[in-house]
Every structure is written in C-alpha cells, then in structure tokens.
C-alpha cells in the first residue's frame, strides 16, 4: 500500500473512532514492516501534519469548494485535506504529483464520480497560490492567528493574554514544527560520549543539551527507536530536555524515600532512580495500571532495582503520609506544552476540561503534600502552558498552607525565573513547554 492510501486509512481512524494520532501511527508502522523508509516518512508527515493543520485545511475547503468542509462526504474531506496539505506545506512534492496522486486517491476510494471536483479544488488552489496566499483570513486578530496556524481560538486567547500577539504567533509556529528527539542517557550503564559515538556511527547528528548532564538531541530521521544502538542495553531513555529538568529540581539523594505520585510510564521515576545511584526506596504510583506496568519493563531495561509500583488513585493513599523525603507530583494536565508531539491535543482539550483538571490537580497536590516528612520537599510539575494549572495553583496552595514555602532552583540551574518557579517557554528554551515548582515543608 502506498503512503497516501495508508495516511487516508489512518486519518479515518483518528477522525471517526477518535483514536489517538500517535497510537494509530505506531500501529500502522508496526503492521507495514515492508514500507520503504521514504514512504514511512511521508506517511508520518501526512498524518501528523494533517491532524495539526485541520482548521486551516478545512477553511481552504470552505473557501475553494462549492460545499463547506463539514458538508462534504467525510472521506472526501480527508482526501481533499491530503491533497491541500501537500500543496501548501510540503516543498519536496511537486504540485502536479500532489494533484495527480490525490485524484487517484479519490478514484480508488469510491469517489471516481467526484474526482473532477477534487482536481478542480486543488488546481484552483495552485492558481491562486501564484498570486499570494489562497487562504483568506478574518480581520479579528484572534481567529486570524487561529485560522492561519490552525489552533482553536481559546488557546490563542489564553497565550495572547499572557504573552501578547508576537510571542503567541511564535508559539504557534514552534508547535507546528516536527518535534526533536531528545534522549536521557543512563549514567549507571554508559556515558554521554559513548552514546553520542554509537549514534554518530549510524550517521545521525547528535549533540549534547546544554545544562542537562544526561541530555542528547538527535537530529534527522531515526527510524524505529528500539532499533537504535544502546536501547536494548538500557543506555538511554527517550525524554525531552524540559522533562529531564524535573528530577534535577527534585534533587533526590541516594538512600532517601522518594514517592512519585503520577508516575506512569515512568520517564521521571527512572530518572530519579538513576540520580539516586539506584540506592534508596522509590514508590511509583499511578491509577493507569497498564501504563504503570511499563515502569517495571523500563526498570528492567535500564537495569534499575529500587522502584516499587503502587496502582490506584493517589488521592486515596494513606500509607505514604509523612514517609517521603521527597515527593514528585507530575500532574495530569492539559498538555499545552507538548502540542507539537501530540497534534490532536489542541482539538481534544476545551476550557471546560481544563477547569476539571485544575480541580484534580488541586486535590492531588493537597493530598500528596501530606506524604512529605517535615523538612522534606515536593516538586509540582506539568507539561502545560496554562497559568491556572501552574502558578495560580501553586500560589493558592502556598496561601492556604503556611508551613510550606517555594524554594527557587539553585543558581546553576539552567532556567531561572524571578518568581522562584521554573517555566519553560519553547520559543526561548527550544524544549517542550513545562512548569515546575519546588515546595518545601518546614522542619
């Protein structure tokens, strides 16, 4: 099967069955083992890109077609999106190839009678593109940015209020790029230089992430992650640079008791274990039991031994009260700092869901704070760019818990903020958007 037909089938599952983009993508690539590397690349680009750019692509269909995108037969709308995406966003595909393959796609998927319509819309796009941008934008600046960069208006509004127009547009552009692949090397098994060398030997361009002693960034197409050198040997874990900062802020020490309240699939738990030199007691809790099992697998692969798992709702666990030297609450959040990795989040999240998340985060923070020993600490972190889930929540906690205070990161920490918490803005630090705050309980 060719890449475009596969993309069409994958997009159908995402559209109709509300399946997660990364899940459908991984499953398809696993099933299509004989797909050539360049077809894997095109397939991945089409699926991720079209999910991301849905709003702009539909606006083009609305403007160029006789029928609006929502009134088109759903499969035809996807086919038009596949064609328009290639014309608008892919430089390496000649326009004639984009048009012809899309017309073919229509014919082989029961739209022979409408192949002329497909051809007409795509050629009209091409004609208009000679004179300027065929996408007509509204005057109102919020929907203008939303339509141009394909984000819902409420996300634009949220960022605009905090950072203004220019930064919001930069964020939109950043989140529409293909994400980097960052690795965290396991210092108990290897060195950063050894991993760098092994990956260089596969013709991959790899460089060290500054300020992150275990961090590497890999450029270019890697193919399946598990086939990269050192994966099976437990030399490294895939983890974005900003996520690596969380365990450094927690700063766990060998021999301590550390409790990770929302741990699955264990990216940060295993980092904590590495920083503790695999000495001490780590409890990894999560209510997603299947995901919690991944921690056990990861622990084995990384040759770590001191992590124990505990399945269930962390708001209910009484057994940890007063036990933790350090607690990590890497809270469930709206994920607005990872929109480039999870292109469907922008369409799945709503302001109402965000409000529900804040309530859950508050309950988790209030309860897991009771797990901390006097003199101990708790790191609260999220991968979102939404003040209600971040600084507002922490400020609220501090206002109602006078025996706690905010501890700023040490001077050598790579990201600083005068307020005392850590906020990673992708456009400044070139990493996923993140928030983290270290809270300390009085002796």
Q: Which residues bind ligand SAM (CB under 6 A)?
A: 262-268, 285-288, 291, 313-315, 330, 332, 364
State in angstroms the smallest separation of the CB of 268 from ligand SAM.
4
Provide, rounded to whole angstroms, the least separation between the CB of residue 270 and ligand SAM.
8
Nearest to 333 by CA among 350, 354, 316: 354
Identity of the residue, 168 or 314, whose beta carbon is nearer to ligand SAM in the bound complex: 314
Q: Is 383 a catalytic residue?
A: yes
| Closer by beta carbon to ligand SAM, 7 or else 247 | 247
Neighbour count for residue 103 (Cβ, 10 Å): 22
> Among residues 172, 333, 377, 383, which one is catalytic?
383
Q: How far is the CB of 245 from ligand SAM (least distance, A)?
A: 12
| SS3 (DSSP) at 176 | coil
Max CA separation in the chain (angstroms): 76
* For ligand SAM, the closer CB: 362 or 401: 362
Three-state DSSP at 137 gives: coil
**In angstroms, rounded to a whole number, what is the distance separating the alpha carbons of residues 224 and 212?**
25
Using only C-alpha atoms, the chain has a radius of gyration, in whole angstroms, of: 24
For the record, the structure tokens of 366 come out as 């209030």
| Cβ proximity of 87 and 125 under 8 Å | yes
Residues whose CB is less than 8 angstroms from the CB of residue 108 and which lie 6 or more positions away in sequence, other chains included: 5
| CB nearer to ligand SAM: pick between 79 and 415 | 415
Q: Is 432 annotated as a binding residue?
A: no
User: Has 268 been labeled as part of a binding site?
Assistant: yes
307-311 and 281-286 strand pairing: parallel
CB of 315 to ligand SAM, least distance (A): 5
* CB closer to ligand SAM out of 24 and 261: 261
Checking 60-67 for CB contacts under 8 A at 24+ apart, the result is 60/84, 60/88, 60/125, 60/134, 60/135, 61/121, 63/134, 63/135, 63/136, 64/121, 64/124, 64/125, 64/128, 64/134, 65/117, 65/121, 66/117
Closest CA to 282 of 301, 261, 312: 261
Min separation Cβ 364 and ligand SAM, Å: 6
CB of 311 to ligand SAM, least distance (A): 9
Structure tokens at 25: 């993508």
Q: How far is the CB of 152 from ligand SAM (least distance, A)?
A: 22
Of the CA atoms within 13 Å of residue 337, those in its CB half-sphere come to 28
Q: Distance between CA 188 and CA 277 in Å, rounded?
A: 7
User: Is 263 labelled as part of a ligand binding site?
Assistant: yes
How far apart are alpha carbons 192 and 317 in whole angstroms? 38
Cβ proximity to ligand SAM, 315 vs 323, nearer residue: 315
Within 10 angstroms of residue 96's Cβ, the number of other Cβ atoms is: 10
Q: Tell me if the bond preceding 265 is cis, omega within 30° of 0.
A: yes
Nearest to 107 by CA among 119, 95, 98, 96: 119
Nearer to ligand SAM, 288 or 406 (CB): 288
Is there a binding annotation on residue 313?
Answer: yes
Contact 137, 63 (CB under 8 A): no
β-bridge pairing 372-382 and 434-441: antiparallel
265: annotated binding-site residue? Answer: yes
Number of neighbours of residue 124 by Cβ within 10 angstroms? 15
User: Binding residue per annotation — 267?
Assistant: yes
Q: Is 420 annotated as a binding residue?
A: no
Q: Return the residue matching tokens 């991984």.
A: 26
List binding-site positions.
Answer: 262-268, 286, 313, 330
List binding-site positions for S-adenosyl-L-methionine.
Answer: 262-268, 286, 313, 330
Which residues are identified as catalytic? Answer: 383
């Amino acid at each position: 099967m060719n890449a475009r037909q596969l993309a069409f089938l994958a997009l159908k599952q995402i559209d109709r069955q509300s399946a997660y983009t990364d899940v459908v993508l991984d499953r398809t690539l696993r099933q299509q083992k004989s797909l050539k590397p360049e077809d894997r690349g095109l397939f991945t680009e089409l699926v991720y890109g079209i999910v991301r750019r849905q709003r702009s692509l539909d606006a083009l269909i609305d403007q160029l077609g006789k029928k609006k995108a929502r009134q088109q037969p759903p499969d035809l709308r996807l086919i038009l999106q596949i064609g328009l995406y290639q014309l608008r966003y892919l430089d390496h595909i000649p326009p004639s190839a984009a048009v012809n393959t899309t017309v073919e796609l229509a014919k082989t998927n029961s739209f022979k009678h409408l192949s002329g319509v497909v051809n007409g819309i795509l050629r009209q796009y091409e004609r208009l593109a000679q004179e300027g941008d065929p996408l007509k934008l509204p005057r109102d600046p919020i929907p203008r940015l939303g339509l141009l960069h394909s984000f819902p208006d409420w996300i634009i509004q949220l960022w605009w209020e905090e950072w203004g127009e220019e930064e919001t547009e930069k964020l939109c552009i950043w989140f529409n790029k293909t994400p980097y692949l960052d690795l965290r090397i396991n210092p108990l098994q290897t060195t950063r230089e050894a991993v760098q060398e092994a990956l260089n030997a596969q013709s991959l361009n790899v460089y060290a992430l500054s300020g992150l002693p275990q961090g590497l960034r890999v450029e270019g197409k890697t193919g399946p992650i598990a086939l990269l050198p050192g994966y099976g040997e437990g030399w490294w874990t895939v983890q974005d640079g900003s996520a690596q900062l969380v365990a450094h802020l927690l700063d766990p020490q060998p021999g301590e008791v550390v409790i990770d309240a929302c741990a699955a699939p264990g990216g940060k738990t295993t980092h904590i274990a590495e920083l503790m030199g695999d000495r001490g007691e780590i409890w990894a809790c999560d209510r997603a039991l299947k995901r919690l099992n991944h921690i056990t697998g990861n622990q084995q692969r990384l040759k770590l031994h001191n992590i124990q798992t505990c399945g269930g709702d962390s708001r209910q666990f009484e057994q940890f009260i007063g036990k933790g030297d350090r607690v990590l609450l890497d809270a469930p959040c709206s994920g607005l700092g990872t929109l480039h990795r999870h292109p469907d989040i922008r369409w799945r999240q709503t302001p109402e869901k965000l409000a529900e998340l804040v309530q859950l985060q508050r309950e988790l923070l209030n309860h897991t704070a009771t797990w901390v020993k006097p003199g101990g600490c708790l790191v609260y972190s999220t991968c979102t760019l939404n003040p209600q889930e971040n600084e507002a929540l922490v400020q609220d906690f501090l206002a109602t818990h006078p025996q706690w205070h905010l501890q700023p990161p040490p001077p050598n920490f790579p990201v600083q903020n005068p307020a005392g918490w850590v906020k990673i803005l992708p456009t400044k630090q070139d990493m996923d958007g993140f928030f983290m705050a270290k809270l300390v309980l009085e002796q």
